[in-house]
Structure 1
Amino acid sequence: MSTVTLPAARISPRAMLTGGVVAGPLYVAVWLTQAFTRDGFDITRHPASLLANGGPGWIQTANFIVSGLLTIAGAVGLRQTLRAGGSSVRGRVWGPRLVGAYGFGLLLAAAFPADPAAGFPVGTPADYAEISTRGMGHFVAGTIGFSGLIAACLVFGAHYRAIGRRTLARFSVVTGILFFAAFAGLSAGAGSRPTIIAFDLAVILGWTWITTVCRDKR
């Protein structure tokens, strides 16, 4: 009896990169919509991760999952496109891997939600700061994801500089430096308003960078 072999479905690099383009705007839109509608949430005091708590917390969890998967898709698209273009090993291998690490960090953040803190969700004491096992997991997720993003910016900065794309090289490096400064400030600032605001802006900048790079390579 003869057998029929069907061709394997293959998602094009362009479609993968489109996922990377969409991930940031989707994440920011869902985050900000919740930030200005959830009772008790103050965007100047509460990081986005706290939105995973409370009854509607599943929305932010889903936001982490969907944006994480789209970011990983974008990383795969970057790898395929850079490999076809004959980029350096550092550019075609480590750049996409590090972007993928950021996506993986988002998936881990969904699996390990942040602990309630600073009066959110409503009913949480304003000075509540206990760290549970899941809270430690969330911290690890953030460290993996944000470190990946920072390193990806620097690697792509070198890649763009090597091919003469100076504007994108500078944008990449500046994004990595500013994100590192904001993340370090958040870690050291114990949730003060200036560090929360600075980190919020850095998150938007980081997503803008991912969208820009995926769109450039699409």
Structure 2
Amino acid sequence: MTALDPTTRRLLTCGVVGPPLFIIAFLVEESLRPGYDLLRQTVSELAIGRYGWQQIANFLVYGVLLLLFAAGLRRATRSVVLPALVVLVAVALIVSGLFVTDPVHTDPTSWHGTVHNIAAIPVFLGVPLLCLVVAVSSLRRRNWGWTVYSTVTAVAMLATIQGLASEAYAGLFQRITIVLGWAWLNLLALRVRAGHLAPSVPRGGEEGCSGSGRVLTDERG
């Protein structure tokens, strides 16, 4: 384990708190929204209408928390790759909040709906990519648990997000994707915060070497 300074631990705590907070927020919102169909409608559609500010705020708060988490990752691991990917996801979430989506399967889409849809790409591809980076890192360290978990999460997210094409169950498949990815991010943050690091993920342009590219897992945990 690696001892972390208080500032780094607080920054990493943002990655622990952010994912469940986002999920709890949209679960409460949808339970209070008359006529909202969680099987068919996406989470982003909660940003439409009179009370849409609640989901907009949810996107923005989660995005900011992930930015702070990325700073903590950088301080804790000295890696460039992982924090950069987290920043990509965080910025995409903030853009998703600033530009409200259109109802699912709307054609044609508005300009702000188009921007929102484009911003969703780094979110739903960025988290699986994060998982695969961690899986490779864990494999090098022979940490089989995190290798398998990260790989399975990446594959499952990429599979379930295809369900957005379904008019009847787009919301359900998106929620499954979100829970899978957000749970993984939460556990990653918990693990790094606990000081479980490994010298595997390289800094930008460098080969993985001791100390300079440490990230997330110990030898066996």
TM-score, normalisation: structure 2: 0.80
Is 1:105–2:80 an aligned residue pair?
no
Is this contact kept in 2: 1:96–1:152, CA < 8 A?
no
Is 1:171–2:146 an aligned residue pair?
no
Unaligned runs of 5+ in 1: 1-9, 84-91, 119-127
Aligned length: 189
Shift of 1:96: 2.0
C-alpha offsets along residues 117-169 of structure 1, whole Å, 9 cap, x if unaligned?
47xxxxxxxxx543000010001110122221111110011112222322122
The residue that corresponds to 1:204 in the other structure is: 179
Q: Which runs of 4+ in 1 moved over 6 A?
A: none
- Choose which of 18, 24, 29 in structure 1 pairs with 2:24: 29
Q: Matches of 1:51 and 1:196 in 2, distance apart?
A: 11
The residue that corresponds to 1:86 in the other structure is: none
The residue that corresponds to 1:3 in the other structure is: none
Is this contact kept in 1: 2:43–2:171, CA < 8 A?
no
> Which amino acid in the other structure matches residue 180 of structure 2?
L
- Choose which of 25, 35, 44 in structure 1 pairs with 2:39: 44
Shift of 1:190: 4.3
Q: CA RMSD, aligned part only?
A: 1.7
Is this contact kept in 2: 1:179–1:199, CA < 8 A?
no
Identity %: 31
Distance 1:11 1:58, change over 3 A: farther
1:114 is paired with a residue whose SS is coil
Counterparts of 1:86-125 in structure 2, within 5 Å, are 92-117=79-104
Q: Matches of 2:161 and 2:103 in 1, distance apart?
A: 20
C-alpha offsets along residues 62-117 of structure 1, whole Å, 9 cap, x if unaligned?
0000011111211221122111xxxxxxxx22122112211111101011110134
Q: Matches of 2:100 and 2:157 in 1, distance apart?
A: 22
Is 1:134–2:112 an aligned residue pair?
yes
1:12 is paired with a residue whose SS is helix
Is this contact kept in 1: 2:41–2:103, CA < 8 A?
no
1:202 is paired with a residue whose SS is helix
Shift of 1:30: 0.4
TM-score, normalisation: structure 1: 0.81
